[in-house]
């Protein structure tokens, strides 16, 4: 485990920092308006543009193997670049799914044709992807999903509904889980598809969140056709590919820095509260948690660099990050008092902290809720008995409410 950078890593950091300084504007250290969500369409375009700049200069797909257009670098190097990039005012969020989840899944389970068609456009910022996994009745228990795929010649015909699909309204492609065999147990009858979002029969309805942003959507399918060649992995073995995607999702969500604590200290100072014992305790606690998170992140990335699968430590990190978000949001609320409730033109501090307060639920639910993370830590990390699962070997058809 590396506590600080090795000489090679320090060199890599310097190289990344110099390049970023030459190609991007620094982020406003007091918080500023780094939130591009005021116009999501503009934000998506900014993400595409920045991804192209990264690609053109060799900073795209840092951990992807060279044969797939990546740099073949370590997870530590990718983390170093991400840490440095966080100091700059650049937009990246729209590619979290494409680069962080779809690419690794295609590399692990995709056919050479699928890899050939999609990996380079993803790296170049030409394809935004969305994830069509969750359904109204299948979130934490994803394996109970009921969107159906029925074979028709060389195609599959999709009917059903998904929900909470981030950026689906902007996506060129989607990764989709659908049920292809209702007579198999719930984990066994699912197939993993690539879906062209321009296909007829898809309706995407944006959902307005409490923050005012339409980050995610409901997605409906009416007789949508997908070619058989778009299956990722084997028929009815979609759960295996889904595990690769979900593991990469959790790792991504858990990889945060202490970005908010310095800004919180600055806020407390500007509001004349930094000598108040209560706020000093809170800020010191937040700083300690941020440092702990940093070392937990290094531990996980070291495991990845050494080609060890990050297991329970990745799960713990995601939960700790969510807790840290809640702690800093509570602290910001106390520092700002009623001002944190102001919105629009009246908002205090560019509404950075109001957004921070309300966004905590995204982190605490997305990629597995806090409760599900604790269940997994209990079972896989602590060896406690598994939750009772009396539906594991039962055909999905007899579990389904819709038949």
Ligand X SMILES: Cc1cc2nc3c(=O)[nH]c(=O)nc-3n(C[C@H](O)[C@H](O)[C@H](O)COP(=O)(O)OP(=O)(O)OC[C@H]3O[C@@H](n4cnc5c(N)ncnc54)[C@H](O)[C@@H]3O)c2cc1C
> Which residues are at the interface with ligand X (CB under 6 A)?
130-134, 139-140, 164-166, 216, 362, 365-366, 368-369, 371-372, 375, 387
Residue among 62, 194, 52, 43 nearest 115 (CA): 194
Decide: 69 and 107 in contact? Cβ < 8 Å. Answer: no
Q: How far is the CB of 100 from ligand X (least distance, A)?
A: 12
Residue among 115, 200, 120 nearest 155 (CA): 200
Residue among 248, 247, 92, 186 nearest 389 (CA): 186
Pick 301 or 364: Cβ nearer ligand X: 364
Pick 12 or 133: Cβ nearer ligand X: 133
- Beta strands per DSSP E along 167-302: 173-179, 190-196, 202-207, 216-227, 231-232
Q: How far is the CB of 131 from ligand X (least distance, A)?
A: 4
Task: Report the SS3 class of residue 353.
Answer: helix
Q: How far is the CB of 37 from ligand X (least distance, A)?
A: 12
Residue among 27, 35, 85 nearest 60 (CA): 85
Spatial separation of the C-alpha atoms in residues 157 and 153, rounded to whole Å: 10
Spatial separation of the C-alpha atoms in residues 185 and 393, rounded to whole Å: 5
The two structure tokens encoding residue 267: 């806020």
Given 249, 291, 334, 379, the catalytic residue? 249
Pick 216 or 279: Cβ nearer ligand X: 216
Q: How far is the CB of 224 from ligand X (least distance, A)?
A: 16
Spatial separation of the C-alpha atoms in residues 245 and 388, rounded to whole Å: 25
| Secondary structure element (H or E) that encloses residue 284, with its range | helix 277-305
Spatial separation of the C-alpha atoms in residues 175 and 245, rounded to whole Å: 10
Pick 301 or 356: Cβ nearer ligand X: 356
Evaluated on CA atoms 100, 259, 295, 305, the torsion sign reads positive
The burial of 43, by beta-carbon neighbours within 10 Å (0-12 exposed, 13-18 middle, 19 or more buried), is given as: buried
Based on the residue annotation, tell me whether 84 is a catalytic residue of this protein.
Answer: no
Q: How far is the CB of 339 from ligand X (least distance, A)?
A: 25
Pick 291 or 371: Cβ nearer ligand X: 371
Decide: 37 and 208 in contact? Cβ < 8 Å. Answer: no
Pick 219 or 305: Cβ nearer ligand X: 219
**Torsions phi, psi for 222 (to 5 deg):** -125, 105
Contacts of 376 (CB under 8 A, 6+ apart): 312, 315, 368
Q: How far is the CB of 360 from ligand X (least distance, A)?
A: 10
Pick 273 or 315: Cβ nearer ligand X: 315
Spatial separation of the C-alpha atoms in residues 123 and 60, rounded to whole Å: 6
Give the number of other Cβ atoms within 10 Å of residue 160's Cβ: 20
**Which residue number is nearest to ligand X in terms of Cβ?**
139
Q: How far is the CB of 95 from ligand X (least distance, A)?
A: 13
Residues designated catalytic: 249
């Amino acid at each position: 485990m590396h506590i600080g950078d090795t000489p090679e890593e320090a060199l890599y950091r310097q190289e990344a920092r110099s390049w970023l300084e030459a190609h991007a504007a620094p982020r406003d250290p007091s918080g500023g308006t780094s939130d591009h969500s005021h116009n999501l369409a503009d934000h998506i375009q900014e993400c595409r543009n920045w991804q192209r700049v990264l690609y053109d200069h060799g900073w795209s797909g840092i951990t992807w193997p060279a044969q797939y257009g990546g740099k073949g670098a370590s997870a530590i190097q990718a983390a170093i670049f991400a840490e440095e990039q966080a100091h700059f005012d650049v937009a990246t969020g729209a590619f979290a799914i494409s680069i962080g989840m779809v690419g690794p899944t295609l590399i692990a389970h995709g056919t050479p044709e699928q890899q050939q068609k999609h990996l380079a456009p993803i790296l170049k910022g030409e394809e935004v992807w969305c994830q069509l996994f969750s359904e109204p009745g299948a979130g934490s228990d994803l394996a109970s999903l009921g969107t159906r795929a029925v074979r028709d010649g060389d195609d599959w015909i999709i009917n059903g509904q998904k929900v909470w699909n981030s950026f689906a309204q902007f996506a060129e492609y989607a990764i989709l889980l659908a049920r292809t065999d209702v007579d198999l147990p719930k984990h066994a009858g699912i197939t993993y598809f690539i879906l062209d979002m321009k296909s007829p029969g898809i309706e995407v309805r944006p959902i307005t969140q409490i923050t005012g942003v339409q980050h995610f959507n409901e997605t409906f399918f009416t007789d949508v056709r997908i070619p058989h060649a778009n299956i990722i992995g084997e028929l009815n073995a979609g759960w295996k590919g889904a595990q690769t995607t979900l593991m990469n999702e959790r790792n991504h969500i858990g990889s945060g820095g202490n970005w908010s604590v310095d800004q919180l200290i600055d806020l407390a100072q500007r509001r004349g509260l930094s000598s108040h014992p209560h706020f000093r305790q809170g800020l010191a606690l937040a700083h300690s948690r941020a440092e702990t998170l940093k070392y937990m992140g290094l531990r996980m990335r070291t495991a990845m660099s050494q080609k060890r699968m990050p297991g329970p430590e990745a799960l713990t990190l995601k939960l700790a990050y969510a807790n840290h978000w809640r702690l800093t949001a509570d602290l910001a609320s106390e520092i700002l008092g009623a001002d944190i409730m102001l919105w629009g033109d009246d908002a205090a501090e560019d509404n950075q902290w109001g957004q921070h307060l309300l966004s905590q639920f995204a982190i605490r639910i997305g990629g597995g809720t806090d409760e599900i993370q604790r269940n997994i830590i209990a079972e896989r990390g602590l060896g406690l008995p598994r939750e009772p699962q009396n539906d594991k070997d039962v055909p999905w058809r007899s579990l389904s409410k819709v038949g």
